[in-house]
Structure 1
Amino acid sequence: MTPSHLLALRPPPDIEARVVAFREAHGVRDAAAVPHVTVKARSGLDDDLRWLELIPAVAAATPPVPAELLAPRVFPNGSALYLPARSPGAVQLHLALLDALRPARRFGYEGPHMTPHLTLTIGRRDVTLDALLDAARQAFPHPPTFTATELVWMRKPGPGGAYRPVQSWPLGGAAAT
């Protein structure tokens, strides 16, 4: 059981509360328990944590990131129900992180074609995403916009666990947390 790491943008508390309320209303319990828009998944984010020294400079060089959450969708492979995030800034941050981290191996979804998104639920055998898609359309008829001001390191302890925030860095060089 090794931990997994990712770097993300967090929505403001009001949007987070809406996502959490949707998940609770539908009994969703999975790795996406803390709402976030992933900007860099696991490749290059090894357990040795040496990559952590690179992150503050990338965050400081990145202005706050506007994001518009769009109507709910299901990935074609059925892996997740999500709110796409229209955010050129999130893609640019993703590319800057790839450039800084230079992972030995990248996932196929990484690069300029990356789809920023906020996962509502991960696809599993016991979850009918089509039914949840209809419910998500009702819960998010006018998906919101926000501007992320921090880059957040999130860690999942192992299989079956949930990603939780560990540390954050201000975007554009504001005060650190």
Structure 2
Amino acid sequence: MQYFIGIVPPDDYKDKIINFQKQWDSNDIMDVVEPHITLKAQGGLTEDEEWIAKVKTICKSYPSIHLSIHEPKFFGDDILYLSASSNELFSLHEKIVQAISPSDELINQYFELENFVPHMTLAKTHYGLSKQELRRMAKRAENELTPYPSFEVSFVRVYQEKENNEYVKYMDIPLLK
């Protein structure tokens, strides 16, 4: 069983993204997880769940953060995402990674610390779309997913893998009010 920690966009924008993703019949990403921005990937988040107390301690003393969603971009030509930015997000990411202390190999495998790129994945070739469909989707996203929102993040969400490659909400951990 695996876990990861993410940030969920406001419900209205999350619904807008899901409806956008559903326009492509072969896009299976909705079967994997809801739209989110990964804050801490799977590396080091073990089944014993001892790491949860560390995350709660960090979040309890970390104030809410301001996050903005931006234009679509690509990782290579196989992953389409909406870019995201926040002055505070990198610091929170770093604090959580350092507290959990995954190996350097896991940090590199999951693109953490200096390789961390905040983003919200729209689609991947791995989840059913062709590279050509991803390019068309990117063009449509520029029109259909604007205006891109900015919002306050008051909690982080822990996701748990229920079945192979299907993640669901496990718990929300509030940030300092």
Q: What TM bracket, shorter-length normalisation?
A: 0.7 to 0.9
Q: How far has the Cα of 1:123 moved from its partner?
A: 2.6
Moved over 6 A (4+): none
CA contact (8 A) 1:68 1:87 kept: yes
Range moving further from structure 2, 133-142 or 50-59: 133-142
TM-score, length basis structure 1: 0.87
RMSD over aligned Cα atoms: 1.8
Q: 2:120 is aligned with what amino acid? A: L
Equivalent residue number for residue 170 of structure 1: 174
TM-score, length basis structure 2: 0.87
Pairing of 1:125-144 with structure 2 (within 5 A): 126-128=128-130, 129-144=134-149
Give me the whole-angstrom Cα distance separating, in 1, the residues matched to 2:124 and 2:136: 13
5+ residue gaps, structure 2: none
5+ residue gaps, structure 1: none
Q: How far has the Cα of 1:7 moved from its partner?
A: 0.6
Deviations 1:95-149 (A, max 9, x none): 0101111112433221134111111123327412212212222212331111111
Percent identical residues: 22
Q: Does 1:121 align with 2:123?
A: yes
Q: 2:52 is aligned with what amino acid? A: L
CA contact (8 A) 2:7 2:38 kept: yes
Give me the whole-angstrom Cα distance separating, in 1, the residues matched to 2:43 and 2:150: 28
Greater share of helix? 2
CA contact (8 A) 2:28 2:127 kept: no
CA contact (8 A) 2:28 2:128 kept: no
Count of residue pairs brought into register by the alignment? 169
CA contact (8 A) 2:17 2:145 kept: no
